[in-house]
Amino acid sequence: MQKYSTVIIGGGAAGLVAAISARRNGRDVVICEKMPRLGKKILISGAGRCNISNLDLNETHYNPEARELVRSVFSAFDREKIENFFSGLGLRLRSDGNRVFPVTDQAASVLKILEGELKNLKAAVEVNFEVNDISAQAKGFTVKSKSGKSVSCDNVIITGGGKAYPSLGSDGSCYVLAKSFSHKIVEPVPSAVPLLAKDRFCHLLQGQKIQCVAKAIIDSKVKKEAEGDLLFTKYGLSGTAILDISGDISIAINRLVKKGVQVSIDMIPFMTEDELKEEITRRIRKGFAPEDLTIGILPNKFSLVFGELFKGASVEKIISVLKGKRFDIIGAKGWNEAEFTAGGVDIEGVKRGTLESKLKKGVYFAGEILDVNGERGGYNLAWAWASGFVAGLTV
């Protein structure tokens, strides 16, 4: 049985950087990856462009309960160090707004350069190695695969990801490994995911995209707000604005089993209520048909719903629909359409600053397997790089 200083379970973003960090620190490492190749989720990140970080990288962009842990990791490996890490590997970067991308706009470039560094450092890699057991020995651990192959080590870093995109290897199987060391798992739910709503708007407007301000309404209170695209679909709502508010909604419906969850949509965010009221009043006075009241303001397809809805309606009613139409949300799409996972290994069982388990010495965690959920815009990949580097540095 091959013996290593450190076994890294999972060859995604966190696992690759953990291996590089540990190897640079003189550790003898092996990555155990269940898929036939490394970094498959990296290749689809940022719609294939790989949004590696954000210029406004700090703990406030993560779920509140995780912020202290995130701050402790970023204090050791912050945005500047993430960028310097990749620049040092030869990857040129550029910013698009606050989002940071490789200049190639290719996630494949990021993976290739990480794989090159692993090869340069002579880090061992085992693909098609699906870990199903970690057993503690008198000194260290034995890591076993489903196929029967085993390796031994002094330390283990578990970076097996969450449950988003199970076809790419993230199926939640590493939660079982964490639980074997008595770690609590916060119920994982899909995040950055389209939402399900039964509403005539969705049926008649499917395929239509607009700019909007979307608000998540939970317990009759606005929980989160985002501006961006709204895409009407036959099943409900999608688009960047919806993805940005979907995490809180998914948690409320799937984990907390709350009822009465809604999304409020301002379909005309570029006009104030007073401006819109003045314009709609003017159009009514000029004899515009109800279905034509938003022509030139919203796409023509909206006449399909406004003709009947606005017939005989007061100006105040019309404004309330255009600036705050509410959709009852009945669920969220599943793991195959979720970008991220909300939930995972409870961070209360993990040491700040090192990411070592408080329950079992020599076991570390990094990446999405932890209950650390960032906003869209490079925050989740930044967490993966940073947590992987810190875990690799401290084993």
Q: How do residues 112-142 score in pLDDT, each as one tens digit?
A: 999 999 999 999 999 999 999 999 999 999 9
User: pLDDT tens digit string along 20-46?
Assistant: 999 999 999 999 999 999 999 999 999
Q: Please indicate, yes or no, whether residues 30 and 179 belong to a single structural domain of this protein.
A: yes
Which pLDDT score, from 0 to 100, does residue 190 have?
97
Q: Looking at this protein, which amino acid is placed at residue 77?
A: F
Q: Please indicate, yes or no, whether residues 101 and 171 belong to a single structural domain of this protein.
A: yes
Identify each DSSP E strand in 219-339 by its residue range.
221-232, 236-238, 262-266, 325-332
Q: State the chain's mean pLDDT as an integer.
A: 97
Of 245, 180, 181, 183, which Cα lies nearest the Cα of 217? Answer: 245
Q: Which domain holds residue 358?
A: 2-188+343-394
Which pLDDT score, from 0 to 100, does residue 394 have?
86
Which pLDDT score, from 0 to 100, does residue 384 have?
98
Q: Please indicate, yes or no, whether residues 213 and 175 belong to a single structural domain of this protein.
A: no
Pick 170 or 230 by higher pLDDT: 230
Q: Please indicate, yes or no, whether residues 63 and 171 belong to a single structural domain of this protein.
A: yes
Q: Please indicate, yes or no, whether residues 61 and 146 belong to a single structural domain of this protein.
A: yes
Domain presence at residue 157: yes
Q: Please indicate, yes or no, whether residues 148 and 38 belong to a single structural domain of this protein.
A: yes
Contact status, residue 340 vs residue 246, Cβ threshold 8 Å = no
* β-bridge pairing 29-32 and 124-126: parallel
Q: Please indicate, yes or no, whether residues 89 and 171 belong to a single structural domain of this protein.
A: yes
**Residue that finishes a domain, picked among 332, 356, 379:** 332
User: pLDDT tens digit string along 180-199?
Assistant: 999 999 999 999 999 999 99
Which pLDDT score, from 0 to 100, does residue 323 have?
98
Structural domains counted in the chain: 2
CATH code of the domain in which 103 resides: 3.50.50.60
Bridge partner residues of 133 (DSSP):
144
Tokens standing for 199?
A: 């509403």
Domain presence at residue 337: no
Q: Is the pLDDT of residue 157 over 90?
A: yes
Which pLDDT score, from 0 to 100, does residue 62 have?
98
Tokens standing for 289?
A: 């048909």
Rounded distance, CA 302 to CA 184, Å? 48
Which pLDDT score, from 0 to 100, does residue 152 have?
97
Could you give the 3-state DSSP secondary structure of residue 157? strand
Q: Please indicate, yes or no, whether residues 168 and 313 belong to a single structural domain of this protein.
A: no
Which pLDDT score, from 0 to 100, does residue 44 have?
94
Confidence of residue 319 (pLDDT cuts 50, 70, 90): very high
- Is the pTM higher than 0.85? The answer reads yes
Packing angle between helix 107-120 and helix 13-24, nearest 10 degrees?
Answer: 30
Which pLDDT score, from 0 to 100, does residue 1 have?
85
CA dist 186 to 12, 62, 164, 256, Å?
21, 15, 15, 12
Of 228, 231, 229, which Cα lies nearest the Cα of 206? Answer: 231
Q: For the residues 142-162, what does the mean pLDDT come to?
A: 96
Rounded distance, CA 395 to CA 391, Å? 6
Domain presence at residue 338: no
Burial of 287: CB neighbours in 10 Å, binned 0-12, 13-18, 19+: exposed
Q: Please indicate, yes or no, whether residues 40 and 97 belong to a single structural domain of this protein.
A: yes
Q: End-to-end alpha-carbon separation of the chain, Å?
A: 21
Domain presence at residue 252: yes
Confidence of residue 395 (pLDDT cuts 50, 70, 90): confident
User: pLDDT tens digit string along 204-259?
Assistant: 999 999 999 999 999 999 999 999 999 999 999 999 999 999 999 999 999 999 99
**In the 8-state DSSP scheme, what is residue 286?**
T
Q: Please indicate, yes or no, whether residues 52 and 134 belong to a single structural domain of this protein.
A: yes
Q: Is the pLDDT of residue 265 over 90?
A: yes
Q: Please indicate, yes or no, whether residues 203 and 183 belong to a single structural domain of this protein.
A: no
Of 293, 316, 291, 320, which Cα lies nearest the Cα of 306? Answer: 291
